[in-house]
Chains A and B, each alone.
Chain A
């Protein structure tokens, strides 16, 4: 197990290295010049050249790459070309809203979707099943910004129960944080509820046909016990996989939701950086995201061993 963990971590290093290289080259190859953006439309070629030199953009590509990597290894993600603020600081300011919204979204989604999926599978083929499945198609197909604006219209504008947009840190008290987190969480969780409910249903349907479920019924166990103790845990592996990937997606930024609700999160930071060709910020974001995916996948694989004793590494 420990050996497996070490092997997986070691295996992540080349993955991250390749990601770093590809991102670096892609950015340098895409049209657009950060110097031009900083200098503005009226800048002379000399001014541009000066800015480029001061930013280190005139160095040969491999020197730039090696400098960047060397600094990363020392824990320095660089400084934003545009705002001159250290990248690490920019990200740490933006990470809290993103993580809080991601956590609340995934929790809400699990709490609603797993029971829905279990019930749909249990009542397979009945109207309950059909209603759940139709709702999940709806959840997939309605874009998050539509859901967002509708929720704002109802709860913030018509009823005036909740603020329209914004974000407050949880350190400033739970109330203000909670008020502002409810709507984006609800809007975002729609698609995850749809996804997780579908997967739970499909996985449960498969497991409910297994012999050990018949054994459990033959023991005289009630349906709740059959579903929860015997079926759900065996059905959990694909569900956990989807939840994990969903969580990674949420953390790496949900630009549209952040824009609709005016939340200063990671998604908008990334998009702003891309528009400004702010190389260090983009590079750091992508590297962090890929690191996040590697970690979450590892955590999911370790969770498998807890769920299913037959899986051993």
Chain B
């Protein structure tokens, strides 16, 4: 039962074939046995994905080259296999699913045909038996209405459905090894939960060895039998799940676990009723209208009757899954898009129906930090120009704006010489600090953070959250924090709004909502949060009663 499916020994992958080339992977050794799930965790750049692509033989040729070691798949050496042999092994013996189900499927081919391609390439079955096999597989991955989905194009399907198609495609020939590279990272928590249990169930049925790559300790706690922690191309630590979570031996593993935000809300800050209201909305609604050919109007309410209040110095979180309307609300409040109805008051001034020109003086009161620091900064402007641009637009002389930019860079813990450098010279976390400095340059009363830490590694995420906390304490700014991540919300928010399908489901103090939710949907979200049974930072399972879910759930602790 426990034959080794993959054995990697002393693998070295370099940039180019020269012996002195930089090593992306250095002396990596891993094994995955039949029926076992090995989780490969690490932050970005740790070499997780390169490891998986090496096994598949999919490294970009001549750019990344395995120079040393061996990779054996079911006893067969992969590194020296011919292209032809590798092609024959893919899908039949080893298969892979990827992070982005939105882009991993060919948009111009119906999904059934894409699965069919695997069978046509690797088997000699006739069309009818291929179709039968595919429909069976689609049912196994619990897709509804398989006949219809068979003929559908990818863009007609949801993210979860597409990932199911990917899984069906990967497993249709019952490979010995499934490599899953962050397969649930782009999915909502409730979908993530379903996909994880699907992978587990299919693994049980077929005895597949699973190499599961993730950066999320919560997911690790849900699915792993064994864990390998990677950093800078090295395997730092390997061990059974329980041992890694309870008694990590390496500092890096400990740091990684400590950085995972706890689901238990932090102690609430004392509510100061006297703090003035800086932002409030009343029945804010955004409706998108679609007109069909026959003139029928279809209305979609992206946000409906959203009423919220934010006091000076407080943090209000809006949590929800994709499509819940949380970003729509943020964009309406900033008037980046125009609300259909309802009111928005910033420092008591109604701004919901001001024209672009009349709005100008009020824009500086409210600023935003976006999710992706790689795309939200203009690559052609220096950091100084980016930060100074806003104040200069409002009439500050440029030398003064630049002097202020320097102060702000210090405030966000960046070196003063950053001012004349360009965004590409910084890491993701540093860029997000720049984005924060840019927002602060306007001296706003309200800072909106739209998934501002979602694209960052956990250790960096923790630092940025700490920075936002410090800034808030120092400047008394109010923070509207949009996130899909309940752990982050639990650590930063005083109050929380839960949204679903454009409506507010529940709102109140973070401590109440995230420990004793009144609404079923909130409960469902909490239940779906991966690793909810663990207190990672303290290397132990959550004590009963502290855990958010009402019932203690069966958690996959044993290897």
Contacts and interface: CB of A to CB of B under 8 A. Distances in A.
B98 A233 contact: no
A33 B90 CA distance: 76
B89 interface: yes
Interface residues of A, number: 24
Interface in B91-118: 91-92, 95-96, 98, 100, 103-109, 117-118
Contact of A212 (B89, B103, B293): B103
B153 A225 contact: no
Given A211-B100, A221-B117, A310-B153, A216 B106 contact: yes
Contacts of A160: none
A124 to B, nearest CB: 11
Interface in A256-313: 307-310
Interface string A134-167: 0000000000000000000000000000000000
A210 B106 CA distance: 9
Contacts of B91: 218-220
A309 B108 CA distance: 6
A8 interface: no
B121 A219 contact: yes
A308 B108 CA distance: 5
A307 B153 CA distance: 12
Contact of A220 (B103, B105, B118): B118
A220 B108 contact: no
A234 interface: yes
Interface string A31-69: 000000000000000000000000000000000000000
Contacts of B155: 309-310
Contacts of A212: 103-107
Contacts of B98: 211, 214-215
A130 to B, nearest CB: 16
The size class of the interface chain B forms with chain A is 20 to 34
A230 B107 CA distance: 9
Contacts of B87: 220-222
A243 to B, nearest CB: 18
Contacts of B88: 220
Nearest to A223: B83
A2 B95 CA distance: 44
Contacts of B95: 218
Interface centre among A210, A221, A234, A308 (most CB of B within 10 A): A221
Given A210-B103, A212-B103, A220-B122, A234 B108 contact: yes
Contacts of A222: 87, 121
Contact of B107 (A2, A217, A221, A310): A310
B58 interface: yes
B56 interface: yes
A3 interface: yes
B293 to A, nearest CB: 4
Contacts of A229: 109, 117
B169 interface: yes
B108 A307 contact: yes
A214 B58 contact: yes
A3 B121 contact: no
B104 A211 contact: yes
Contacts of A215: 98, 104-106, 166, 169
Interface string A208-251: 00111011111111100100011001100000000000000000
Contacts of B100: 211
Contacts of B106: 212, 215-216, 230, 234
Interface in A1-47: 2-4
Contacts of A233: 108-109
B186 to A, nearest CB: 11
Contacts of B56: 218
Contact of A221 (B105, B121, B166): B121
A229 B117 CA distance: 10
A79 B105 CA distance: 59
A3 B293 contact: yes
Interface in A177-224: 210-212, 214-222
B56 to A, nearest CB: 6
A225 B88 CA distance: 14
Interface string B155-171: 10000000000100100
A308 B107 contact: yes
B407 to A, nearest CB: 41
A16 B96 CA distance: 55
A100 to B, nearest CB: 33
Nearest to A215: B104
Nearest to B101: A211
A116 B58 CA distance: 25
B264 to A, nearest CB: 37
A308 B118 CA distance: 22
A233 B110 CA distance: 13
Nearest to B113: A229
Contacts of B122: 220
Interface string B419-435: 00000000000000000
Nearest to B166: A215
A233 B114 CA distance: 14
A306 to B, nearest CB: 10
A225 B107 contact: no
Interface string B78-91: 00000000111111
A221 B155 CA distance: 23
Identify the 4 closest CB pairs spanning chains A and B, nearest first.
A220-B90, A3-B293, A211-B103, A212-B106
30 contacts: A211-B98, A212-B104, A212-B106, A212-B107, A215-B98, A215-B104, A215-B105, A215-B106, A215-B166, A216-B106, A218-B58, A218-B90, A219-B117, A219-B169, A220-B86, A220-B87, A220-B88, A220-B91, A220-B92, A220-B118, A221-B117, A225-B121, A229-B109, A233-B108, A233-B109, A308-B108, A309-B107, A309-B108, A310-B107, A310-B153
